[in-house]
Amino acid sequence: MKKIIKNGKIVTAADTYQADILIEDGKIKAIGNDLSDVYAEVIDATGQYVFPGGIDPHTHMDMSFGGTTTKDNFETGTIAAAHGGTTTIIDFCLTEKGNTLKSALDKWHEKSNERSVIDYGFHLQIVEASENVLKEIPSVIEEEGVTSFKVFMAYKNVFQADDETLFQTLATARDNGGLVMVHAENGDVIEHLTKEALKQGNTDPIYHALTRPPELEGEATGRAAKLTALADAQLYVVHVTCKEAVDQIADARSKGFRVFGETCPQYLVLDQSYMEKENFEGAKYVWSPPLRDKSNQDVLWNALKSGQLQTIGSDHCSFDFIGQKDLGKDDFTKIPNGGPFVEDRFSVLFSEGVKKGRISLNQFVDMISTQAAKLFGLFPQKGTIAPGSDADIVLFDPDAERYISAETHHMAVDYNALEGMKVTGEPVSVLSRGEYVIKDKQFVGKPGMGNFLKRSTFNKAIQKESVVTK
């Protein structure tokens, strides 16, 4: 059905203005003043911001990791995402050595098909650069629409790939227009420090942070950036947490290299001291890279504001405190790594960023939606409010106040790492391709209404747009 959104303030990465939006067949048909159509449902957005739907470029739904499986699957996780103002996720598809990339994608399609309530795409993990894998990359890009590839530089003996794999992935991605993503921590040295800690009987959650110091994130980020420069490729560093890593990204960018970075709400508002909570509560804050000293929060805000970092991902990877995190009760290395943030990413950035004067309203939209669309080949279908774009729209009350809590959140997990935090600003209604997913804060969508997104390549995106390099 056609819809007209009236009386709201439209906010994009570039503009803020009052106008009506006509939606037809899932697309934005027109933007203008006093639009009317007798067949259209009129939505009154008085007092609300009208944002493009959030794009979360970093989620882990229904993923086996650390001896267990994430609590949120594509249904529960995307319902929570939608409540929070996110209308697109890009999830990490894991691969296995010796198997084809296509078989991994088939598995991820099985997990998500008929479950997701919002549109979604996949990044693909590269764990080995065998001849077969490298040969398959072009068809994955062209036929499957999966155009970004993730290499883990940490999690030794689990996901970690070596530098040769990273370099070959960069070179292959360059030749085919893809974007390589890295989890940048030095996994070999972490492995050594971890063994030493356990030998000394240091088993509490805080040792997760102490065995993964920021120097090892800085070192891996710098190494990945230098290999990217050597390969003349493009790199996206996921979940950047600290000055050591930001400096490496800024240095590479100042030399003109195509290096981009993401941070996450948890690193902007929480710090390492949470991991020292008593009664094993510190385990609720165990993810990688770990939380850092509080001084890094300003570094990250400044890097976002100045454009050294481009995006906000949630790194949503949810495990219950009871029954999952407690696998590591006697040994921090057995605590499944990850935290639940897909629902609160959007509001936390608005509240802590815009409301507290750290970033502008338009920068908020850029970070929460537009830059991810551009980098990952979805723009202008997604990431903006413009004629022809998908009608993925968030009607947002900028003054609503609430306290984040596991009692009220929609994620399947039994705790919220931001419990008790006051946020100002809340999505009221959320449309995905013109259909309500959330109406007046209630979920009204259906599992399976989300579509898989075949994405364009990074190279095509930069030819079209003056994107990404600010």
Q: Which residues would be at the binding site for ligand URP (CB under 6 A)?
A: 60, 183, 287-288, 315, 317, 337-338
To the nearest whole angstrom, how small is the minimum distance from the Cβ of residue 317 to ligand URP? 4
To the nearest whole angstrom, how small is the minimum distance from the Cβ of residue 206 to Zn ion? 20
- Which are the contacts of 193, defined by CB distance < 8 A and separation ≥ 6? 210, 211, 212, 213
The rounded radius of gyration (Å) of the Cα atoms in the chain is 21
Structure tokens at 166: 């990273």
Closest residue to Zn ion: CB criterion: 183
| 260/279 Cα distance (integer angstroms) | 38
To the nearest whole angstrom, how small is the minimum distance from the Cβ of residue 59 to ligand URP? 9
| 123/121 Cα distance (integer angstroms) | 7
- Does position 315 bind Zn ion by CB under 5 A? yes
- Answer whether 131's CB lies under 8 Å from 172's CB: no
Which listed option, Zn ion, ligand URP, none, makes contact with residue 338 (CB within 5 to 8 Å by class)? ligand URP
Is the dihedral angle over the CA atoms 72, 241, 227, 373 positive or is it negative? positive
Burial class (CB in 10 A: 0-12, 13-18, 19+), 343: buried
Nearer Cβ to ligand URP (115/183): 183
Nearer Cβ to ligand URP (53/340): 340
Nearer Cβ to Zn ion (56/144): 56
Structure tokens at 302: 């400044």
To the nearest whole angstrom, how small is the minimum distance from the Cβ of residue 50 to ligand URP? 32
Residue 204 backbone class (left: φ over 0; alpha: ψ -120 to 50; beta: rest): beta
Structure tokens at 322: 């009871």
Which listed option, ligand URP, Zn ion, none, makes contact with residue 457 (CB within 5 to 8 Å by class)? none
Nearer Cβ to ligand URP (9/325): 325
To the nearest whole angstrom, how small is the minimum distance from the Cβ of residue 110 to ligand URP? 21
Strand partners, 149: 124, 180
Nearer Cβ to ligand URP (169/288): 288
- Answer whether 126's CB lies under 8 Å from 95's CB: yes
Q: Under rule CB under 5 A, which residues in 219-278 are in contact with Zn ion? A: none
- Does position 345 bind Zn ion by CB under 5 A? no
450: phi then psi, degrees, rounded to nearest 5: -80, 140
Nearer Cβ to ligand URP (364/415): 415
Which listed option, ligand URP, Zn ion, none, makes contact with residue 337 (CB within 5 to 8 Å by class)? ligand URP
Which listed option, Zn ion, ligand URP, none, makes contact with residue 287 (CB within 5 to 8 Å by class)? ligand URP
Nearer Cβ to Zn ion (12/194): 194
To the nearest whole angstrom, how small is the minimum distance from the Cβ of residue 459 to ligand URP? 25
168: phi then psi, degrees, rounded to nearest 5: -70, -35
Per CB under 5 A, the list member of 183, 243, 382, 433 interacting with Zn ion is 183
To the nearest whole angstrom, how small is the minimum distance from the Cβ of residue 145 to ligand URP? 22
Cis upstream peptide for 340 (omega within 30°): no
- Which are the contacts of 99, defined by CB distance < 8 A and separation ≥ 6? none
Structure tokens at 135: 């040969």
Nearer Cβ to Zn ion (51/236): 236
363: phi then psi, degrees, rounded to nearest 5: -65, -40
323: phi then psi, degrees, rounded to nearest 5: 100, -15
To the nearest whole angstrom, how small is the minimum distance from the Cβ of residue 226 to ligand URP? 22
Which listed option, ligand URP, Zn ion, none, makes contact with residue 292 (CB within 5 to 8 Å by class)? none
Which listed option, Zn ion, ligand URP, none, makes contact with residue 350 (CB within 5 to 8 Å by class)? none
* 8-state DSSP, 274: G
Nearer Cβ to ligand URP (3/183): 183
To the nearest whole angstrom, how small is the minimum distance from the Cβ of residue 322 to ligand URP? 19
Which of 14-22, 139-147, 311-319, 451-459 is the region at the interface with Zn ion (rule: CB under 5 A)?
311-319
- Answer whether 218's CB lies under 8 Å from 195's CB: no
Question: Which positions lie near Zn ion, rule CB under 5 A?
Answer: 183, 315
